[in-house]
Amino acid sequence: MSVEKIDTLIVGGGQAGLALSEHLSKRGVPHLILERHRIAERWRSERWDSLVANGPAWHDRFPGMEFSNFDPDAFASKEHIADYFVSYARWIAAPVRCRVEVKDVRRKIGGPGFRVETSEGLVEANNVIAATGPFQRPLIPALIPKDAGFLQMHSNAYRNPDQLPEGSVLVVGAGSSGVQIADELMRAGRRTYLSVGPHNRPPRSYRGLDFVWWLGVLGKWEAQHVEKGKEHVTIAVSGANGGQTVDFRRLADAGMTLVGMTTTFKDGVLTFAPDLADNIAMGDADFLSVLDEADAYAIRNGLDLPQDPEARQIGPDPACMTDPIRELDLTAAKVTTILWATGYQVDFGWLNVDTFDENGQPKHQRGISEEPGIYFLGLPWLSRRGSSFIWGVWHDAKFLADQIVTQRSYLAHHHSPLRKNVTSRT
Ligand SMILES: Cc1cc2nc3c(=O)[nH]c(=O)nc-3n(C[C@H](O)[C@H](O)[C@H](O)COP(=O)(O)OP(=O)(O)OC[C@H]3O[C@@H](n4cnc5c(N)ncnc54)[C@H](O)[C@@H]3O)c2cc1C
């Protein structure tokens, strides 16, 4: 069987794989990207129909290319984003081979590098980069048995309201996905319950500037560690409907029923934690702290920005907050669908190398794994808060390309004839 040889193999042709390809090409490193579907496939087929970027087009992009024919302050649709990456791949002449799945990677026996089994044959590579996404396998908590009589769907499989059976919907999880999907379902006339956990909800814009700008100048995208105790705090933002601040009270006023964290299920009845008001208060505190920090930044830097006192007005608590539902008989409430917007797990079943902890989590430092030659890219918090986002992964990719070049130069030294002369003389 013939074996294809390549210096560096990138697994995954999403934004992470393309960013690394750009940096490797600039540094003259021969490489290949294998993508099991199409470029930026997850944006095309693993997101709901109406999804738009959470950040404006001037921000949610790579530094080298703008979105063509698109208002930079608007929010690109998922198709626009996928098309952007296809154009980008063309622009940087990325060596992408689509419809090839990497099935197994392991260290070569009796030689350097890795043996890679793909759906199209064998490849040998000195370096392998896992760029297979921050959000790989949908995570549904084991709370409600599969045969309980309700449609249970992860946000990853949700497309639009028409896809769901008639009836009310409980959306579990109020991060950006959950809150946007719940809003869409409510606007489509569904009775909607939203289970709200701890969250941050930055203002969509403040004093005329989008929150992505404020988080940027305040250095928050560069934060290197999740604050202690905030590991499970999600961020609720939305570019939908032109981009609006996520405001749970406004959603409740429009007819959504907010509930606390979903905790148990027994005999058709779901129980919710008594934490709704606390979770919303925590989101408010985060919201106001961003405004405070923004004001302080504006003063310190002498920015002449319009005042925005209305931003600080927080409406009265709705009844579902002051007198929260603690138990819901799903059948009595006509709930037919439970939509889990509860996040994702990693899935590195194809990567059989020694760099995972007992929970299957990759062990790495800024993407450099414990197995020399294996790298990770695009994971949440790989090096900083922005790592899994479009603008952040590009910078992590640059760092990894540097590391790969450095390692190549060490190996080149090892193989150099000069070194052989030196060693033969000693
Ligand atoms: C709902 C949602 C909304 C988001 N919105 C934004 C946003 O507005 N702005 C922003 O900056 N970020 C956003 N993100 C985060 C992030 O930008 C995306 O998740 C993005 O898709 C990550 O890109 P990636 O290249 O790291 O991974 P992916 O896009 O997941 O790409 C990985 C690729 O690897 C391929 N692959 C996997 N396994 C194999 C294998 N074994 N062999 C070959 N190929 C393989 C997959 O097919 C996939 O194409 C959002 C995420 C989600 C879930």
Is pLDDT at 420 greater than 60 in this prediction?
no
The string of DSSP codes covering 132-201 is: S-S--EE---TTS-TTSSSEEEEGGG---GGGSPSSEEEEE--SHHHHHHHHHHHHTT--EEEE--SEE-
Distance 40 CA to ligand 1 centre (A): 7
Rounded to whole angstroms, the Cα distance separating 145 from 226 reads: 33
Distances (CA, A) of 184 to 39, 157, 169, 330: 28, 15, 11, 21
Q: How sure is the predictor about 274, in pLDDT bands with cuts at 50, 70 and 90?
A: very high
Rounded to the nearest whole angstrom, what is the distance from the C-alpha of residue 388 to the centroid of ligand 1?
8
Nearest ligand 1 atom to the CA of 39 is 49
Give the pLDDT band of residue 15 (cuts 50, 70, 90): very high
Residue 21's pLDDT band (boundaries 50, 70, 90)? very high
Residue with tokens 């709901």: 48
Q: Name every protein residue with a CB atom under 6 angstroms from any ligand 1 atom.
A: 11-17, 34-37, 41-43, 47, 51, 53-55, 60, 101-102, 131-135, 177, 350, 378, 388-390, 393
Å from CA of 272 to ligand 1 middle: 32
- In whole angstroms, give the CA distance from residue 380 to residue 135: 9
Res 118 pLDDT > 70? yes
Mean pLDDT of the chain: 96
**Residue 257: closest CA among 314, 312, 321:** 321
Nearest atom of ligand 1 to the alpha carbon of 40 = 49
Asked if pLDDT for residue 424 goes beyond 50, the answer is no
Specify the 3-state DSSP secondary structure of 418. Answer: helix
DSSP category for residue 281 = H
Residue nearest to atom 29 of ligand 1 (CA): 14
Which three-class secondary structure state does DSSP give residue 323?
Answer: coil
Using the atom order of ligand 1, give the atom closest to the CA of residue 377.
26
pLDDT given at position 413: 87
Q: Give nearest CA residue, ligand 1 atom 51.
A: 135
278: CA distance to ligand 1 center in Å? 32
Say what the pTM is: 0.95
CA 102 to ligand 1 center in whole angstroms: 16
309 pLDDT band, cuts 50/70/90, is very high
Q: What share of the chain is helix, strand, coil (3-state, %, to 5)?
A: 30, 25, 45
Q: What is the pLDDT of residue 342?
A: 97
Most informative mutation of 388, 394, 400 for ligand 1 (most atoms within 8 A of CB): 388
Whole-number Å distance, alpha carbon 41 to ligand 1 midpoint, is: 8
Tell me: the pLDDT tens digits for 236-262?
A: 999 999 999 999 999 999 999 999 999
pLDDT tens by residue, 361-419: 999 999 999 999 999 999 999 999 999 999 999 999 999 999 999 999 998 887 776 66
Closest atom of ligand 1 relative to the 43 alpha carbon: 21
Distance CA 211, CA 60 (A): 12
- Supply φ then ψ for residue 27, to 5 degrees: -95, 5
**181: CB partners within 8 A, 6+ apart:** 48, 155, 158, 171, 339, 341
What φ, ψ does residue 413 adopt, rounded to 5°? -65, -40
Minimal-distance CA residue to ligand 1 atom 33:
12
The best mutation among 9, 10, 15 to test binding of ligand 1, ranked by most ligand atoms within 8 Å of the C-beta, falls on 15
**Which atom of ligand 1 is closest in space to residue 344's alpha carbon?**
53
| pLDDT confidence of residue 418 | 62
Tokens 């709705």, residue located: 318
Q: Is the pLDDT of residue 304 over 90?
A: yes
Candidate from 47-56, 97-106, 125-134, 412-421 with smallest mean pLDDT:
412-421
Distance (Å, whole) CA 224 – CA 149: 44
What would the mean pLDDT of 64-77 be, rounded to a whole number?
97
Distance from Cα 364 to the centre of ligand 1, integer Å: 19
Give pLDDT, residue 231: 83
> Residue of the nearest CA to atom 17 in ligand 1?
389
| Exposure letters 271-300 (e unless 16+ CB within 10 A, then b) | bbbebbeebbebbeebbeebbebbbeebee
Sequence-distant (≥ 6) Cβ neighbours of residue 312 within 8 angstroms: 288, 291
Calculate how far, in angstroms, residue 135's C-alpha sits from the geometric centre of ligand 1. 6
Q: Is the pLDDT of residue 422 over 80?
A: no
pLDDT of residue 290: 97
Query: Binning pLDDT at 50, 70 and 90, where does residue 215 land?
Result: very high
Q: Which carries the bigger pLDDT value, residue 227 or residue 253? A: 253
Task: State residue 110's pLDDT score.
Answer: 84
Ligand 1 mutation target, pool 10, 32, 42, 387, most atoms within 8 A of CB: 42
Residue 11 confidence (pLDDT) = 98
What is the C-alpha separation between 291 and 278, in angstroms, rounded?
20
Task: Give the Cα separation of 123 and 115 in Å (integer).
Answer: 6
Q: What tens digit of pLDDT does each residue of 326-339 get?
A: 999 999 999 999 99
Q: What is the pLDDT of residue 415?
A: 73
